Structure 1
Amino acid sequence: MKRYLVGGAVRDKLLGRAVVDRDFVVVGASPPEMIAAGYKPVGKDFPVFLEPGTGEEYALARTERKTGRGYHGFSFQADASVTLEEDLERRDLTINAIAEAEDGTLVDPYGGVRDIEQRVLRHVSAAFVEDPVRLLRVARFAARYAPLGFTVADETMTLMQQMVADGEIDHLVPERVWAETRKALAEPQPSAFLRVLRESHALAVLFPEVDALYGVPQRAEYHPEIDCGIHVEMVLDMAARIAPGDALVGYCALTHDLGKALTPADVLPRHVMHEQRGIAPVQEMSQRLKVPNDFAAMASAVCRYHLNAHMAFELKPGTILKLLDALGALRRPERLETFLHACEADKRGRLGSEDAAYPQANYLRAARDAAAAVSSQPFVEKGLVGPAIGEALDRARVKAIASVPKPA
C-alpha cells in the first residue's frame, strides 16, 4: 500500500498558494485491506475512506470508463491493480494530475509541473471530452489563475469547442452549471470565465442572455469600452476587486445589464428603459439555473434599480425611501451593501473609470441609517392605529432622509 497527496493540494503548493483541502490516493490496496488498517469507508460511488488519525479522505486509485452521455455516464474500477499513473490519467488538467509521495517526491507523468511553470491549462488526455463539467471547470480555473498569467492550451480549447459542437454540454443539469458558475464568480478574475466559455462557444448555450450582449454598442461618452459584453467583463472584475469572494455581488454584476441585449436596433447606442427590459431575462436565467432565491431576488433588484443608485443625489427623499423599501434594506442593511457593491462595480467597470470615486454609496448608507433610526413608537403613543402608523412613519422617514447632507 502506497499513499500519495494528489490534485489541488500539490498544484497549490507548487504555485505558492495556501493549501485548503488535501486529497490522497492509495495504490495497491483493496477495500478490505483499508478497513483492516482502521480506515472508515464513506464513499458512495467509489471507495473513499477516512484516515483514523486525521479524518482526511483517502481514495483508492481508480479508472473511469464512459458508458453514456453527460457526467453520470461512467463506470469505475477501483482495486489494487490500478496504478497511480492510471488514476492520474483520468483527471481533467495536467496541473491537477501531479502526485506527491510521502517522501516528497513528485510523480508527474503528464507534464503538470511544466504547465505550471509555463502557466498553461491543458487537458490530460482525450478522455477529457467525456465529462462536460470539465469545460466549466477549465473556465473556472481560468478565472482563478488568469491573474497569474494562465491561459488555455490551444489543443484543449479545440477539444472544448468539439464538446459543444457534439452537444455534450447539453446534458449538463442546471445544478452543476450553477455550482461551477457560483465558484467562478467568487474568483479573482471572473471575466476569464466568460471569455473561455465564449471562445469555446459554450456561452451561447449555457448563458445565451449574457452572450447576446457581445457586439451591442453603448454611448462612448458613458462607456468608452463601447461593447456591452466587454462592459460586463469589466464589471465582473471590478466586483471581484470591491467585494472579493462574494459570488452574490458577482451574480448581480453578471446580470445587471441583460436588458441592453433587448434594446431596439433603431435606438442604439442609447439604452432607454434597459433596466426594465432586463428584469425578464434576469428572472428567466435565474429560474433556468435554479439559483438560490436570495441571488435571484438581488440580481433582479440590481437590474431594476442600479440607475437609481447612480442618480442618488438627484432623487427625491421619497424615492430614496421607496428604493430602500424595495431592497428590504431597513431591516437587512446587508442587502443595501450588496446592492451598492454591485452598483459601484457597474460605475467603475468602464474604461478609464477603474479608480473613480462613488460617493453615492455613502450617501445612500447615511440615508438608510437616518430612515432606520425613526421609530414607530411615538406614533403609537399618540394614539395612531393601523395604516395611519405606517403613513406617519413614512413621512418621518422621508423627513429624516431629507436632512442627510449631500456631498458638496
Structure 2
Amino acid sequence: MTLPYQVYLVGGAVRDALLELPVIDHDWVVTGATPEQLEERGFQQVGKQFPVFLHPKSKEEYALARKEKKQGEGYTGFICDFSPDISLEEDLERRDLTINAIAKDESGTLIDPFNGQQDLLDRVFRHVSDAFIEDPLRVLRVARFAARLHHFGFTIAPETMLLMQAISASGELSTLSAERIWKELEKALNTCHADVFFSVLKEANALEKLFPELIWKDNQVTTNILSQTEITPAQRWAVLSKNTPLTELTQLHQRIRSPNQFKILAEQTRSFLENQRIPMNAVSWENWLISVNAIKKPQPFILLIEVLSRLTNSRFEDWQKLRDTIAAINAAGLIKQGLSGAELGQALKKVRAEALDKTLSPLIS
C-alpha cells in the first residue's frame, strides 16, 4: 500500500536488526498524516488515548508521530499531541533510550538524530533527553533491556543511572500498576539473565520500592541456574525468589498479581526449602509428595523437582523415582479389603511410605 505521507520503521525492530538479533515485531511511525487519512485507507484505530492504528493486512502497529507533555503523575500522566506537522525527530525525542530512537525509512536509510548507532557499538544504555525522568516505567524498561542484552556487554550510562535513581527518590514508582510491573518482570524472566533485572533495580534504588517483600541475593549458583536455556520463566522466578520467606512471598504474589503457574511453583519451592530438610524419612517424603499433588499433576511436579534438584545439588532422577514409587500404588486392593473413608486414606499412606522405604535412594538416605 502506497501512502501519501512518510512511514518509518522505528524502535526495537531497528535496534535488533542492527544487533543481528531476530526481529519479531515491527512498529511504524507515520508523519504528516491525520487519523482520518489512515482510517480512509482501512487502518483501524486501537485505543483512544494514543493515535495507534492496525494495518488492514499485516495488522502491525502504525502510530502517528507524536509529542508528549507531562501533566499528571505516573506513566499515564501525559497529554499527547499528534498533529500532522510533528516531525520524526520530535517523535524520536520522546523515546527512552538512544538505541530505541533510531528509525529507518522506506529506502532503508537510517535516521539517527541521537547517536543511537554509536551507543549500540559502545554497548551503552543512554537516555535520549531529560524527559526520561518523567516516566517511572522507564526504570523497569532499562532493567529489562539490561537483562535481555546482557550477553552483549551493555552498561548503563552513569548520567542515565542518576536519572533512574532520581525517579526512585521521587515516589513515582508507586504509581505503576501491578499489571505493568508484572509485564516487565515477566519479559525479564524470559531472558537467560533475569538476575540482571534485579541487579539494575537495586542499583537504581528501586528494588525495595517495587518488590519490598523480595529477599534477593545475587550469587554465582543462581546465575548459573538462570542461564540454562531449558529453564522456564516460572522456574527462573522460583529460583530468584527462593530466599524470600513464604509469608512475604505470598504477599508479593498477591500484590503484583502473578499468574498461578508462577505463584504456585515459587511458593512450593520456598515451602520445601523453608520446611523440609534432606535427608527425610519415608513418611515425610510421602506427606510432601501428596501435598504438592505429585500424582495428580505430574507436569507441574516435574517443573518443581527440576528446580529443587538444582537448588539442592541432587539428582533429578532420584526425585522422579519418588513420584513413580507412590504413583504405582493402587488403592483397589485396600478397597477389596473393605477399607473406606479415613481408614482407607491412612492405609494408603502407610503402603506408600513402606514402598518409599524399600526404595530409599541417595536423596532420601
- Per the TM superposition, whether the score is higher than 0.5 is yes
Q: Is the 8 A contact 2:192 2:228 kept in 1?
A: no
Aligned twin of 2:91: 87
Whole-angstrom distance in 2 between the partners of 1:359 and 1:208: 31
**Shift in CA distance, 245/331, structure 1 to aligned 2, threshold 3 Å:** same
Decide which of 1, 11, 15 is 2:19's aligned counterpart: 15
2:362 maps to 1:395: no
Give, as a single letter, the amino acid of the residue that structure 2 aligns with 1:63. Answer: K
Question: How big is each residue's C-alpha offset from its partner over 1:204-263, in whole Å with a ceiling of 9 and x where there is no partner?
Answer: 22223446x6xxxxxxxxxxxxxxx233xx4543332346462211221122112xxxxx
Whole-angstrom distance in 1 between the partners of 2:221 and 2:178: 24
Aligned twin of 1:285: 252
2:105 maps to 1:101: yes
Pairs aligned (count): 359
Task: State the Cα distance separating 1:141 from its structure 2 match.
Answer: 0.7
Aligned twin of 2:288: 323
Whole-angstrom distance in 2 between the partners of 1:403 and 1:183: 45
Equivalences for 1:179-258 in 2 at 5 Å? 179-210=183-214, 229-231=217-219, 234-242=220-228, 244=230, 246-258=232-244
Whole-angstrom distance in 1 between the partners of 2:119 and 2:230: 27
Q: Is the 8 A contact 2:143 2:196 kept in 1?
A: yes
**Shift in CA distance, 243/252, structure 1 to aligned 2, threshold 3 Å:** farther
Report % sequence identity: 40
Aligned twin of 2:35: 31
Whole-angstrom distance in 2 between the partners of 1:77 and 1:345: 52
Whole-angstrom distance in 1 between the partners of 2:269 and 2:207: 22
Whole-angstrom distance in 1 between the partners of 2:206 and 2:82: 33
Secondary structure at the residue paired with 2:96? coil
Task: State the Cα distance separating 1:374 from its structure 2 match.
Answer: 1.7
Aligned twin of 1:6: 10
**Shift in CA distance, 391/240, structure 1 to aligned 2, threshold 3 Å:** same
Task: State the Cα distance separating 1:310 from its structure 2 match.
Answer: 7.0
Give me the CA root mean square deviation: 2.1
Question: How big is each residue's C-alpha offset from its partner over 1:138-193, in whole Å with a ceiling of 9 and x where there is no partner?
Answer: 01111111111011111100111111122221222222222212221221112211
Aligned twin of 1:299: 266
Give, as a single letter, the amino acid of the residue that structure 1 aligns with 2:88. Answer: L
**Shift in CA distance, 72/307, structure 1 to aligned 2, threshold 3 Å:** closer
Aligned twin of 1:223: none
Task: State the Cα distance separating 1:116 from its structure 2 match.
Answer: 1.0
Aligned twin of 1:115: 119
Q: Is the 8 A contact 2:195 2:240 kept in 1?
A: no
Query: TM (normalized to structure 1)?
Result: 0.82
**Shift in CA distance, 307/289, structure 1 to aligned 2, threshold 3 Å:** closer
Query: TM (normalized to structure 2)?
Result: 0.91
Aligned twin of 1:333: 298
Q: Is the 8 A contact 2:213 2:251 kept in 1?
A: no
Question: How big is each residue's C-alpha offset from its partner over 1:282-306, in whole Å with a ceiling of 9 and x where there is no partner?
Answer: 1222222222344333322211213
Aligned twin of 2:321: 366
Task: State the Cα distance separating 1:321 from its structure 2 match.
Answer: 1.4
Whole-angstrom distance in 1 between the partners of 2:45 and 2:218: 48
Whole-angstrom distance in 2 between the partners of 1:190 and 1:41: 34
Whole-angstrom distance in 2 between the partners of 1:405 and 1:342: 21
Q: Is the 8 A contact 2:105 2:111 kept in 1?
A: yes
Whole-angstrom distance in 2 between the partners of 1:93 and 1:67: 22
List alignment gaps of at least 5 residues for structure 2.
none
Give, as a single letter, the amino acid of the residue that structure 2 aligns with 1:387. Answer: A
Whole-angstrom distance in 1 between the partners of 2:154 and 2:310: 24
**Shift in CA distance, 249/235, structure 1 to aligned 2, threshold 3 Å:** farther
Whole-angstrom distance in 1 between the partners of 2:231 and 2:140: 18
Secondary structure at the residue paired with 2:107? coil
Q: Is the 8 A contact 2:123 2:153 kept in 1?
A: yes
Secondary structure at the residue paired with 1:208? coil
Aligned twin of 1:128: 132
List alignment gaps of at least 5 residues for structure 1.
214-228, 259-277, 348-357
**Shift in CA distance, 149/157, structure 1 to aligned 2, threshold 3 Å:** same
Secondary structure at the residue paired with 2:42? coil
**Shift in CA distance, 170/43, structure 1 to aligned 2, threshold 3 Å:** closer
Secondary structure at the residue paired with 1:52? coil
Decide which of 378, 382, 390 is 2:333's aligned counterpart: 378
Aligned twin of 1:68: 72
Whole-angstrom distance in 1 between the partners of 2:316 and 2:231: 20
Task: State the Cα distance separating 1:373 from its structure 2 match.
Answer: 2.1
Whole-angstrom distance in 2 between the partners of 1:238 and 1:343: 14
